[in-house]
Amino acid sequence: MAQIQNNRDIYDRIAWGIIGAIGLLAIISFYGIWIAASHDSTLGSPLKAVLGQGVWYLLSVGLVILIIQFDAEQLFKIAPYAYALGIILLILVLIFYDRTSFANNGAKSWFKLGSLTFQPSEVMKPAFILMIARVVEDHNKYFVHTIKNDWLLLGKIFAWLAPIAVLLKLQNDFGTMLVFFAIVGGVILVSGISWKIILPMFIFVAIVATTTILLVTTDWGMKLLSHFFKAYQFERINSWLDPSGDTSSGAYQLWQSMKAIGSGQILGIGFGKSSVYVPVRSSDMVFSVIGESFGFVGGVVLIMIYLYLIIQMCKISFDTRNAFCTYISTGIIMMILFHVFENIGMSIDLLPLTGIPLPFVSQGGSALVGNMIGIGLIFSMKFHNKDYMFSTAGDF
């Protein structure tokens, strides 16, 4: 009888809702990769592409099972080591980067071992989330929230972000840098920092972003910004502002994506069919496969799966009643949410093009591993919930 109760207790500790959502996204991923590879000879065999993604999924599941073994106190202790390892990898990739990828996209972001490539910034994301969660936890343990102390906390957060921002700048990976800023923004919102600081800061960021976009539309503005941005980044903003302006060059990928999604209309052109060629369709532009095959309805269903996943993660965060876990889950939720919003947004010209994949769906092992590590951290919160659900910020 005790054994049955123990099994039931373990069963209740597993986040089945998240498993269901990830399972559906995995099926969508295999379908999208299969269709993309079936209509693009440069991607190789469709079966090989799907099996490769399947192997990355199996590896990621193994990592999730490993991470579940760590409770909040252990995660708190290993955060600096995870961060340090991530920084070392970001430095090493600047030396041992994949020369082929650099020739194609100008970014020093990838290691290459044989036919395998790996992007260390993807696993740096959950490591950074752990670190700033620890920083906020430590600060709130010893300092009361005053304007002076809140500025001190902001300084600490950005001090830990600064090395990553510099290294990503050297890698020429602006898109990934935006993800880290989104993570920081989410954690700041739940850190207890006064709105007297947060509101002006977010207004300032919005003004800077708007001003930058306006400057890109002028010749003198582009000359001014050329010290900070590359030519291809200007091209992406211009194609976002005017996608039909140059459909044979800078805006080609975006235009083809919009054509594919538009051709799907309400219900799509049908299962397994594709009539529009879209570059990099199996990874960055995988949403165009869903939009073309299943139309508006298919796109909405996919977004609803993501919404369900986010809701499940939020519920686990609330149930733990643990400040450190709340900071971690907020960072992970912002990471996934930003990926989804940016990827789908760029596919339909809502946002400028970036190399940000669609979580759990786009082809590629690095992003999948990084996101699944985040899911593993959420699973850990659920699994160890009864062990520390009433703990407070001072427990670690």
For residue range 334-376, list pLDDT tens digits in order. Answer: 999 999 999 999 999 888 888 899 999 999 889 999 999 999 9
Is residue 88 one of the residues assigned to a domain?
no
Is residue 99 one of the residues assigned to a domain?
no
What's the pLDDT band for 386 if we cut at 50, 70, 90?
Answer: low
What's the pLDDT band for 387 if we cut at 50, 70, 90?
Answer: low
Q: Is pLDDT at 392 greater than 60 in this prediction? A: no
Is residue 85 one of the residues assigned to a domain?
no
Is residue 129 one of the residues assigned to a domain?
no
Is residue 134 one of the residues assigned to a domain?
no
pLDDT tens-place string over residues 127-174: 999 999 999 999 999 999 899 999 999 999 999 999 999 999 999 888
Q: Quick one: pLDDT at residue 108?
A: 85
Q: Is pLDDT at 3 greater than 60 in this prediction? A: no
Q: Is pLDDT at 229 greater than 80 in this prediction? A: no
Q: Is pLDDT at 121 greater than 60 in this prediction? A: yes
pTM for the model stands at: 0.91
Q: Quick one: pLDDT at residue 396?
A: 52
What's the pLDDT band for 231 if we cut at 50, 70, 90?
Answer: low
Q: Which residue has the higher pLDDT, 24 or 284?
A: 24
Percentage of the chain modeled with pLDDT above 70: 90
Q: Quick one: pLDDT at residue 148?
A: 94
Is residue 92 one of the residues assigned to a domain?
no
Out of 5-14, 21-30, 313-322, give the one with best mean pLDDT. 21-30
Domain count, the chain: 1
Q: Quick one: pLDDT at residue 389?
A: 43
Percentage of the chain modeled with pLDDT above 90: 61
pLDDT tens-place string over residues 200-213: 998 998 898 888 77
- The chain-wide mean pLDDT, for the chain, equals 87
Q: Quick one: pLDDT at residue 97?
A: 86
What's the pLDDT band for 393 if we cut at 50, 70, 90?
Answer: very low
Range of the domain at 304: 2-77+144-155+170-388
Q: Is pLDDT at 223 greater than 80 in this prediction? A: no
Q: Quick one: pLDDT at residue 7?
A: 59
pLDDT tens-place string over residues 247-280: 766 678 888 899 999 999 999 998 888 888 888 8
d(CA 5, CA 247): 63
Helix (H), strand (E), coil (C) string for the chain: CHHHHHHHHHHHCCCHHHHHHHHHHHHHHHHHHHHHHHCCHHHCCHHHHHHHHHHHHHHHHHHHHHHHCCCHHHHHHHHHHHHHHHHHHHHHHHHCCCHHHHHHHCCCCCEEECCEEECHHHHHHHHHHHHHHHHHHHHHHHCCCCHHHHHHHHHHHHHHHHHHHHHHHHHCCHHHHHHHHHHHHHHHHHCCCCHHHHHHHHHHHHHHHHHHHHHHCCHHHHHHHCCCCCHHHHHHHHHHHCCCCCCCCCCHHHHHHHHHHHHHCCCCCCCCCCCCCCCCCCCCCCHHHHHHHHHHHHHHHHHHHHHHHHHHHHHHHHHHCCHHHHHHHHHHHHHHHHHHHHHHHHHCCCCCCCCCCCCCCCCCHHHHHHHHHHHHHHHHHHHCHHHHCCCCCCCC
pLDDT mean over 18-43? 91
Is residue 136 one of the residues assigned to a domain?
no
Is residue 162 one of the residues assigned to a domain?
no
